[in-house]
């Protein structure tokens, strides 16, 4: 793996050079083994939280982990294009717009003992901006190469906090063109329901049941690129014990192996349709 500046990463994308690199500030990783017609992303996978913020943060490391999406990058690691956020959403949230990416409070609890300094704020916002400059270059290149692109926007959520039965998978579609892409969404829903999980875990999928697809990552790509579909795909944290932070590697592996087959199949069907 290389360590590259954002400018060098974008240069390689525009030249369609395969590479795997971490950004020179270690805030995200981009792997491109082939300029395939689809992209996988895990923007909330990151857990890094820079040391200069530690003493000012009221949330524990577990509090932060609980709201992050661990293992979501691992679930799509085998695919040719994978973009992974490395920093915790508690430092800055890649799935929120710039003016809301740095929390003052999180899930009903103040985040900082005192408001963070302008220097700390600007440091985080530069990372956010750098990430989106790469997102823009990447989607632009894939859309130009193939005429359209599909992005699998992978997330997870804490199912035990709900006071009702919730699905194993949720697709958020409120901010995509459902008249144009509704059939693709239904196809993806049906594929996710075929996934077989260990430990008698069911694999059902609903649309806009727990989340509606309101993330900035989806909105940015959807509003910027006219021929790219983002599938906001959430898995309930059935692959871990969300209350003790124990990961179930056999479940993560089962998801990864089956997405290895289903994601490119869905991408192929997307590109074959006249949309």
Provide the 10 A C-beta neighbour count for residue 260.
15
For the CA atoms of 97, 99, 104, 106, the dihedral, rounded to the nearest 10 degrees, stands at -10
The pLDDT of residue 97 = 98
Q: What is the pLDDT of residues 40-62, one digit of tens each?
A: 999 999 999 999 999 999 999 99
Nearest alpha-carbon partner for 49 in 89, 4, 84, 21: 89
Which pLDDT score is estimated for 275?
Answer: 82
Cα–Cα distance for residue pair 243/33, rounded to 1 Å: 36
Residues 6+ apart with CB under 8 A from 212: 172, 173, 174, 175
Counting Cα atoms < 13 Å in the Cβ hemisphere of 240 gives 19
Residue 236: which of 63, 48, 71 has the closest Cα? 71
CA distance 106 to 163: 20
Q: Tell me what pLDDT residue 42 has.
A: 98
Kindly state the DSSP code that residue 208 receives in the 8-state scheme: S
The pLDDT value given to residue 124: 98
- Per-residue pLDDT at 104: 93
Angle among Cα 221, 86, 162 to the nearest 5 degrees reads: 75
pLDDT at position 228: 98
Q: What is the DSSP letter of 12?
A: H
The pTM of the full predicted model, rounded to 2 decimals, is: 0.97
> With contact defined as beta carbons under 8 Å apart, do 43 and 224 qualify?
no
Mean pLDDT, contiguous 10-residue spans, the chain (275 residues): 98 98 98 98 98 97 97 98 98 97 93 97 98 98 98 97 96 98 98 97 96 97 98 98 96 98 98 91
Q: How far apart are CA 64 and CA 219, in angstroms?
A: 24
């Amino acid at each position: 793996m290389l360590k590259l500046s954002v400018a060098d990463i974008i240069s390689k994308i525009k030249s369609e050079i395969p590479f795997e690199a971490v950004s020179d500030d270690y805030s995200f990783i981009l792997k491109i083994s082939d300029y395939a017609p689809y992209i996988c992303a895990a923007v909330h996978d990151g857990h890094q939280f820079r040391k200069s913020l530690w003493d000012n943060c009221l949330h524990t490391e577990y509090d932060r982990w609980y709201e992050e999406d661990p293992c979501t990058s691992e679930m799509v690691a085998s695919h040719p294009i994978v973009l992974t956020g490395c920093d915790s959403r508690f430092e800055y949230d890649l799935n929120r717009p710039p003016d809301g990416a740095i929390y003052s409070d999180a899930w009903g609890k103040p985040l900082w003992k005192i408001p963070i300094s302008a220097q700390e704020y600007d440091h985080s916002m530069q990372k956010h901006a750098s990430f989106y400059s790469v997102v823009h270059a990447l989607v632009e290149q894939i859309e130009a190469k193939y005429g359209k692109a599909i992005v699998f926007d992978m997330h997870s959520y804490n199912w035990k906090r709900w006071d009702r039965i919730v699905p194993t998978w949720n697709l958020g579609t409120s901010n995509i063109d459902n008249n144009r892409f509704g059939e693709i969404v239904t196809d993806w829903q049906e594929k996710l329901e075929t996934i077989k999980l260990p430990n008698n875990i069911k694999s059902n999928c609903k649309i806009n049941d727990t989340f509606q697809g309101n993330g900035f990552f989806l909105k940015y790509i959807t509003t910027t690129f006219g021929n790219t579909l983002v599938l906001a795909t959430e898995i309930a944290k059935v692959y871990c014990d969300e209350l003790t932070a124990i990961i179930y590697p056999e479940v993560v592996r089962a998801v990864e192996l089956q997405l290895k087959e289903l994601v490119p199949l869905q991408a192929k069907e997307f590109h074959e349709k006249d949309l």
